[in-house]
Structure formats: structure tokens, C-alpha cells
Structure 1
Amino acid sequence: MKIKTKLLFLALLLANTALYAQDGEKNPLKISGSVDTYYKYDFSGYESESGTSNIGTSFADQQNSLSIGMIDLVMSQELGKASFVGEIAFGPRNASSAGPGSSSGVLEPHIQNLYVSYALTPELSITAGYMGTFVGYEVISPTGNFNYSTSYLFTNGPFQNAGVKLDYSFSDRVSLMVGLFNDWNLYSDGNGMSDFGAQLYVVPVDGWDVYLNMITGFPSGSEFDITTGYQITDDFYLGLNAADYSAPNDGGGFSGAALYAQYALTDNFALGFRGESFSSKDYDDESGASVEGSTVNAFTISGNLTAGPLTFIPELRFDSGEEEIFFKEDMMPTKSASQLLFAVVYAF
């Protein structure tokens, strides 16, 4: 498995070299990606048997250890009306380990994106394959987020959608996507493409982007999401993500909102704040008994210090819950947790 993967990448790299040599600058195969590593310390000193710390959002969960994120490789090409994107990740920061309570020991390669597109007209395109989800604000790759740790909304929503979609651009300010998809995060699905998804994109004024998203189906459930960001000045950016999810058959769900504020102090240094409130809904357990939901609030301050393709991210995070969902070093439950993190991300 691993040897075959290495040979595949060697072949792709050789093919890319050949394309440059034969085609010059005309539609070459493009290769990009990132690598990242981090250190995190939970101030409670708590560490689970698997080495993870208190806060149960995706990734960056190893306690008091210099740990890896992932090697992310993206290949893409556009020839005429046709295009493709293929993205594969090695390391624990990938979609197979993105859910709550996930293990950080996942080192096998994982497909992040694998899809092809065709422009039927200048306004209308069709895309089929396995795609990073259109729902939500944050993404898997650390290069797409300001904060290195992730939100509860990200952790509990879909990460990827396999299916087919149509994108229509009415103008530079309005576009619509509709599609049929498998259940969340599945390459293949015995239920068929049982989920329907849609996204309306609007630009009310210059610098302000609004995405209205929805995906619904059985047994996935239904999520409605708004993601918006406004570049208020050259230095100040404000973003918002709000979502509501309902699982089928009284299976509960969640609702929440996260506010993102970022300010560039210099050309190479910016500070960002993420404030989130996340609530799980009441649900019926296997015996039919009703279980009440609860709320957790999380506040994260991150810095982004850039030097060319390198970004250094110091981060302080504090989470507080209505219930005792966190732990102290002596394994006693508590209502709050805090952590300090340092990450380095290199994009190429």
C-alpha cells in the first residue's frame, strides 16, 4: 500500500516534469500544498490513555508533545473546458480523523479531494467526485484557517461530500449551486446519492461575501448554515458562521455560532479572535430515554506571524461548558479547560 503510493507520486512528479518540458507554460499540471507541526499544552495537565488532551474538537489534540499535522499535496489542471483537482493528505490532520473523539494516530494517506469539472457554458459548470464540503467556515487544511485549532461547528459538521453538482453564475455577485450527494464523508454509499445540497452565494457590497448553505437527506440529517465575511478595511476582517443541524428519528443535533475578528498590525503580523457558542440538542438514547443537550462556549486568540511561505501561530484557548465535560489532571470532571499552542505551517 505504502510502496504503491510512493510510486504513484513519483510517477505524477515525473509526468509534471514532462508536461512542463513539452507544453511550456501552457496548462501544466500544478502541484501545491502544505506541511504543519505543533506543540500544545493543556493547563489542567490532563492526558488521556491515547495521549490526547481535554478539548474535543478536531486535530491538534496531543498533550505536551511536539506533534505533526499533515503533508497535504494538491494536484490540479485545466485544459479547455475541463479541469480536475486531486488532493491527498498524510498525517493525523485529515478528514478520516476529523470527528469528535478522533484519534491522532492516523498516518495512512487519505483523499481530501478528487473531482473533475466541465464548463457547459461560461455561466454553468458540472462537477463530480469527492469534494471538501461547501458547508461551514473552517476547512481541513491549516492554510485555509486563521486559527490552528478548530471550532465545534467544524468538528460536528460534514467534512467532505461525494456527488455531482451544478454551479450557475448569474453575475459576479450572485451564484447558485445545487447537487446530489452521498451520506457525509463517504467515498461510496450503499444508500445511493440520498442527500440534496444547495448553496447561494451573494456579494451585497464589495468586500462582503455571504454563503447560504443547506444539506439534507436520510440518514445524514439536515444542516442549515450561513457563512459570511466582510473585509471592513484593508487591516480589519470580520467573519461569522452560524448553523443548525437536526438528526433524524429524534437523534438530537446541534446549533451554534462563531464570530471571527482579525486585525493586521503589520504586513507580517496579525491577531485574530474566535468566539463560539455551541449547543447540543436533546435526544433519545437507545433505551428511549430523553437526554438533555448542553452548551459550551469557546474563546480563542491566535497570532499569525508570516515569513514568506512560513506562518508561525501562537494560540491561547479557553473553553467553558454548562456541564462537567472536561477533566482535571486527577481525572476529576470540571466545567472548563484551557490550552496554549504553538504551530508552524509551511505552504508551497
Structure 2
Amino acid sequence: MKKFTIANIQKLFLIGICFGLSSSLKAQEAETTEVESFMSNFSISGSVDTYFRTNFNGLNKYEYNDAGEIIAAPQAPASSFANDPGFAIGMANVILGYEGEKVGFVADLVFGPRGEDAVFASAAPSNIVNQLYVYWNVSDAVTLTMGNFNTFLGYEVISPAANFNYSTSYMFSYGPFSHTGIRADFTIDDNWSAMLAVMNPTDWTEFNPYGKYSFGGQLGYSTGEGSAFLNLIYGEQMPLSDEATFQIDLTTGWDFSDAFYLGFNTTYNTTDGEGFYGAALYPQIQTSDSFAIGLRAEYFKELEDGGPVYGADAEAIDFTLTGSYNVGSLTIKPELRLDKVSNTASPVFVNSDLEGTDNLSSFVLAAIYAF
């Protein structure tokens, strides 16, 4: 039998150490590769926005009587966001995302007044979650998404960095903002797509306290020059009502040349006879690499049985002219807006003389930094 000497034991010990170090280095290399792979698919993006707003023919401050009571407030259109007087802030938006070959996630966080308005129906007043979802690319043709995602209806979106106009339309403001549920997106061919979804009541994004659900659908057509999407939503949206909401929406936009783009949105929304319909054109002209100018021309009509904004049978016209000047990642947007509201019991605006009027003209200067 061969005898082990001290020298043999030392050799075996050194071999063991080398083997252990080699295994450890391989494990570290594998971990490093995994981290590098994750980071290559991980992204951080978002935006920060702020603005100045003033009215030409309406109040820009609170008015008080001799007793110190407020008798009139600063005027603004009854559409979402960018309605505070003077210098004001929008929101800080941070989007964390991972896009793997098969799976991924998006965590979209918002801070500030615009973000708070966007998640108004959240159960927690301090909620900062704008979107929070995971997805699975089941195949090249099917993607499943589950969680909280911004609405697929309408032309405009919550993020100011993704809209041409800084203020928002009536149709966007009174349609859905966000949904929580599960959706399936289908790629039919190179041009056609479709989507089906089951969701909580609209804008109830954290959970479903009412046991009611809505259903969504979309049919899309896209080419290199533009796209068109027909969107549908149906379901019981009102927590204390058994009546279902139905909304159908067409959103489209096309590049007619390198310099001219035209977008169009029309929608119809009703809940037991109450609701609204409208249409808007979005022509835009690119005058140089750094400057563009665009118009939103919107007609908005509330139904005879009732509407969510100015009341039954009211109609509003919104003309918004916006310039967009890019300085690197910063976009500066000067904006002129005219709102005219008719068919109401009394004027909805008040001028600087505290007299009722059916129109309001305003100016906004916005600054948006996107990263």
C-alpha cells in the first residue's frame, strides 16, 4: 500500500485550493454575464415638465369680498392638467423597464400635480404608480400583458413628452386614463394587429373593490407612413351603478410628407344615455430640424341626458396652437388656446370684470426635459 507523505498531502491540498478557486471564478464569471445581460436589456427613461399659464380675458387670481370670502377663482378650461395660474409644475416621470427576449416589465412612476391627477382614482392618495405591468412574448404573434397600463383609447396620453400639444383635449380628459387587467396583443401580419383585454372598472388601478369588470378590444393597421386604430371598451365602470359604459374610438395619424403630419381622433362614450362625443384634427408642420408648429381643432358635445363636463347638451370648441422648439433633450412649447362653450344654463367662464362669458383665451409656456 502506498503511504501518504507530508509532501503528498500538501500537493492534494494545493490541488483542492486551485479547483475551488477555478470553480469560484467560473461562478463569478457566470454571475457577471447574467448581470451584464440584464443590464443590457434594462432601461431608465422619463421626463420632467414645468410651465407658466395666464389668461387674456379671464381671472388669473382669487377674488375676495369684504369678509375675506372667495367669490371667484382663477379660470381654466375644464380639461386635464396644465390648469394652474402663474408659474407651476407638471410632474417628474421615471420609467424603469426590462425587455428580455421572452419576458419583461415596466414600472412607470410619477411625482407632482400632473401625476396625482393621472392616478386620481387610486385607493391611496399618495400613490405614484402610473403603470406597473409584466409581459410575456408567448410567440412572435402573441404577447400577454398583466398589470396596470395606460389606456389604449384616444390620441393623447398622460406623458407631456409624448404629446405635441401641452394642454389636453376634452375627449382625452373624460375618457379613461388607465386600466388594470390582462390583455392579449396579436400580430396578424406586417400591417394588421389586434388586442383583447379584461380589466377592472376604468381608472381603478390598484385593485378591484366592486367585483365589476370591463372588456376592451382594438383593431390596428400600421405602415411606415402612419397608423389607424379602432378601439372599444364595454363594461360596468361606475361603482354604484349597474349600467355599463360603452365607448368606441378611432385614432389615426399619417405623414403626408417629410414636413406635414395629420392626426385625427373621434370618440363616442355613453353610460345609460349620459356621455359625450367629439372629434379633433391635429395638423403639424415641421419647419426645421428643431422647430415645429401644430394645431388641435376639437369639437366636443355632451349628450342630452347628461355629460361629465359642462352639463347636458353643452358643446365646446377648442383651438390650440402650439409651437415646439427642441434644444437637445429640452423642448420648449409656447401655446395659445381658445375655448368656447355654448348651450349651458349660464356662462361657464368669468372675465376679469367678474362678468360671465362663454369663451376663454389663454397662453401657456411649457418646458419639458425628456431622458
TM-score normalized by the length of structure 2:
0.80
Among candidates 352, 355, 358, match of residue 335 of structure 1: 358
Among candidates 166, 171, 174, match of residue 153 of structure 1: 171
Q: Could you say what secondary structure the match of 1:154 adopts?
A: helix
8 Å contact 1:45–1:328 — kept in the other structure? yes
Which stretches of structure 1, 4 residues or more, deviate above 4 A after TM superposition?
A: 18-21, 48-52, 106-109
Q: How many pairs does the alignment contain?
A: 316
Among candidates 247, 259, 273, match of residue 271 of structure 2: 247
Q: How far, CA to CA, are the matches of 1:338 and 1:19 in structure 2? A: 58
Deviations 1:219-261 (A, max 9, x none): 351110000000111111000000000013x4x1000001000
8 Å contact 1:303–1:313 — kept in the other structure? yes
8 Å contact 2:75–2:349 — kept in the other structure? no
Q: How far, CA to CA, are the matches of 1:265 and 1:306 in structure 2? A: 12
Match of 2:249 in 1: 225
1:30 aligns with 2:63: no
One-letter amino acid matched to 2:330: L
Q: Out of 22-31 and 326-335, give the one that drifted further.
A: 22-31
Deviations 1:196-230 (A, max 9, x none): 00010113x54130000010101351110000000
TM-score normalized by the length of structure 1:
0.85
Q: How far, CA to CA, are the matches of 2:328 and 2:80 in structure 1? A: 27
Q: How far, CA to CA, are the matches of 2:33 and 2:230 in structure 1? A: 40
Matches within 5 A, 1:93-112: 93-94=114-115, 96-98=116-118, 108-112=126-130
Q: How far, CA to CA, are the matches of 2:327 and 2:301 in structure 1? A: 38
Match of 1:297 in 2: 317
Larger Rg: 2
Q: Which runs of 5+ in 1 are unaligned?
A: 1-17, 286-290
Match of 2:261 in 1: 237
Among candidates 57, 74, 81, match of residue 44 of structure 1: 57
Match of 1:88 in 2: 109
8 Å contact 1:297–1:319 — kept in the other structure? yes
8 Å contact 2:81–2:168 — kept in the other structure? yes
Q: Could you say what secondary structure the match of 1:27 adopts?
A: helix
1:79 aligns with 2:103: no
Q: Could you say what secondary structure the match of 2:76 adopts?
A: coil
Shift of 1:19: 8.4
Q: How far, CA to CA, are the matches of 1:143 and 1:292 in structure 2? A: 34
Deviations 1:69-100 (A, max 9, x none): 00000000022310100101000112x4159x
**Structure 1's 172 and 19: CA in aligned 2 closer, same or farther, altered over 3 A?**
farther
Matches within 5 A, 1:134-283: 134-187=152-205, 188-192=207-211, 194-203=213-222, 206-220=224-238, 221-248=245-272, 250=273, 252-283=274-305
Shift of 1:191: 3.1
Q: How far, CA to CA, are the matches of 1:51 and 1:98 in structure 2? A: 23
Deviations 1:280-334 (A, max 9, x none): 112269xxxxx74111101010000001100000000001111322221243321
Shift of 1:189: 1.5
The sequence identity of aligned pairs, in percent, is 35
One-letter amino acid matched to 2:50: T
**Structure 1's 223 and 330: CA in aligned 2 closer, same or farther, altered over 3 A?**
same
Q: How far, CA to CA, are the matches of 1:83 and 1:192 in structure 2? A: 28
One-letter amino acid matched to 1:168: F
Q: How far, CA to CA, are the matches of 1:51 and 1:30 in structure 2? A: 43
Alignment root-mean-square deviation, CA: 2.4
Q: Could you say what secondary structure the match of 2:360 adopts?
A: strand
8 Å contact 1:90–1:107 — kept in the other structure? no
Shift of 1:109: 4.8
Match of 2:142 in 1: 124
Deviations 1:103-133 (A, max 9, x none): xxx9945211100000111101110000000
